[in-house]
Amino acid sequence: MKTIHLNSSLVSVEWLNENIETSNIIVLDATINKVIDASAIRLPKTRFFDIKKKFSDLDAPFPSTLPSKEQFQNEARVLGINTDSILIVYDDKGIYSSARAWWLFKVFGFENVAVLDGGLPEWQLKGFEVENYTDETYFKGNFVAQQNLELMTDFTGINEVSSSSDTLILDARSKARFECLVDEPRAGLRRGTIPNSKNMPYTELFDGNIMKTKRELLTIFNNLVEGKTKLVFSCGSGITACILALAASICNYKNLMIYDGSWTEYGTLT
């Protein structure tokens, strides 16, 4: 078996095209609300990572809420994921919900996972092979989840850190939403921001489909972090906050956390 050690949270489409035949690489399509039928396309070796229906707590009052350790482990095993798997996650927007899937694996103790930089759009732009989805089942994997609760926080936790002098809350929503200039897309949800948070729109982290260079990302972060030792990321419902966590990871920031309920929860409960 070819040995591969992921040394980054991000891999290029060129890297994946070169290494995709490695036996223990599993490619995961984490596109949200994707319709899987005969017309749907995917990268070779792709399995569908259904964030909304399989990897979220369906009984939670807010969308895309962290599932239980047992649910995550079982669904990962159904996808044939093993303890020695190498996971490459993508979505059909470039980098969007794939970052959420990447973060979920880290929350549940799995480190050998990376996001495909530019996702399906960049893969197709470079002319690499795609195929149609077909019905598939997989040999049950032996993935073992070990939950790291320090990577996620809730309503109680966000209220604690919002008044902490060593913590910075970064909000991934657009400037217009952060500054309450437009309505929230979720019906009935009030406009607003978490106290003492700053705005880092996730869209500003990209150069086309792909993530900006580490040097460019560091410039963006350095203008906001100002010596804080802990970074907490929020957004509308916990999806794009993970893009900020991905960028921070690329920049070697430590002590990172996602506010799982994000503004949907905070705006509802305050």
pLDDT of 20 > 80? The answer is: yes
Q: What average pLDDT score do residues 220-235 get?
A: 94
Q: Which residues contact 150 (CB under 8 A, 6 or more apart)?
A: 257
Is 121 a member of any domain? yes
Q: Distance between CA atoms of 167 and 86, rounded to whole angstroms? A: 33
pLDDT band at 253 (very low <50, low <70, confident <90, very high): very high
Same-domain status, 123 and 157: no
Q: What average pLDDT score do residues 182-189 get?
A: 95
Other CB atoms within 10 Å distance of the CB of residue 218: 18
Same-domain status, 93 and 32: yes
Same-domain status, 212 and 111: no
pLDDT for the residue numbered 5: 76
Element (DSSP H or E) covering residue 230:
strand 230-234
pLDDT band at 117 (very low <50, low <70, confident <90, very high): very high
Whether 115 and 56 have beta carbons less than 8 Å apart is answered as no
pLDDT for the residue numbered 6: 85
Same-domain status, 47 and 173: no
Q: What average pLDDT score do residues 165-171 get?
A: 96
Same-domain status, 156 and 260: yes
Q: Distance between CA atoms of 194 and 192, rounded to whole angstroms? A: 7
Whether 201 and 175 have beta carbons less than 8 Å apart is answered as yes
Is 4 a member of any domain? no
Show which of 127, 147, 167 is a domain's final residue: 147
- Does 235 participate in catalysis according to the annotation? yes
pLDDT for the residue numbered 123: 98
Is 230 a member of any domain? yes
pLDDT for the residue numbered 3: 64
pLDDT band at 182 (very low <50, low <70, confident <90, very high): very high
Show which of 147, 181, 208 is a domain's final residue: 147
Show which of 94, 124, 147 is a domain's final residue: 147
Q: Which residues contact 83 (CB under 8 A, 6 or more apart)?
A: 142, 143, 144
Is 241 a member of any domain? yes
Q: Give percent above pLDDT 70 in the chain.
A: 99
pLDDT for the residue numbered 227: 87
Element (DSSP H or E) covering residue 28:
strand 25-29
Same-domain status, 226 and 104: no
Catalytic residue selected from 180, 235, 242, 251: 235
Same-domain status, 161 and 238: yes
Radius of gyration of the chain (CA): 18
Same-domain status, 82 and 167: no
| Adjacent-strand bridge partners of 114 | 88
Same-domain status, 110 and 164: no
Same-domain status, 139 and 260: no
**Mean of per-residue pLDDT scores for the chain:** 95
Is 79 a member of any domain? yes
Question: pLDDT per residue over 130-165, tens digit each?
Answer: 999 998 999 999 999 999 989 999 999 999 999 999
For residue 63 the two structure tokens come to: 């969308």
Is 1 a member of any domain? no
Nearest to 194 by CA among 90, 93, 265: 265
- How many residues comprise the chain? 270
Whether 43 and 130 have beta carbons less than 8 Å apart is answered as yes
Q: Please state the domain count of the chain.
A: 2
Report the SS3 class of residue 191: coil
Is 243 a member of any domain? yes
> The CATH number of the domain where 131 resides is what?
3.40.250.10
pLDDT for the residue numbered 7: 85
| Adjacent-strand bridge partners of 41 | 132
For residue 154, is it left (φ>0), alpha (ψ between -120 and 50) or beta? Answer: beta
**Which range (6-10, 111-115, 130-134, 140-144) has the least confidence?**
6-10
Question: pLDDT per residue over 198-211, tens digit each?
Answer: 999 999 999 999 99
Whether 242 and 258 have beta carbons less than 8 Å apart is answered as yes
Same-domain status, 66 and 173: no
Whether the CA torsion 75, 79, 84, 85 is positive or negative: it is: negative
Range of the domain at 201: 150-269
Whether 189 and 235 have beta carbons less than 8 Å apart is answered as no
Is 2 a member of any domain? no
pLDDT for the residue numbered 4: 77
Q: What is the dihedral of CA 35, 87, 204, 231, to 10 degrees?
A: 120
Same-domain status, 198 and 243: yes
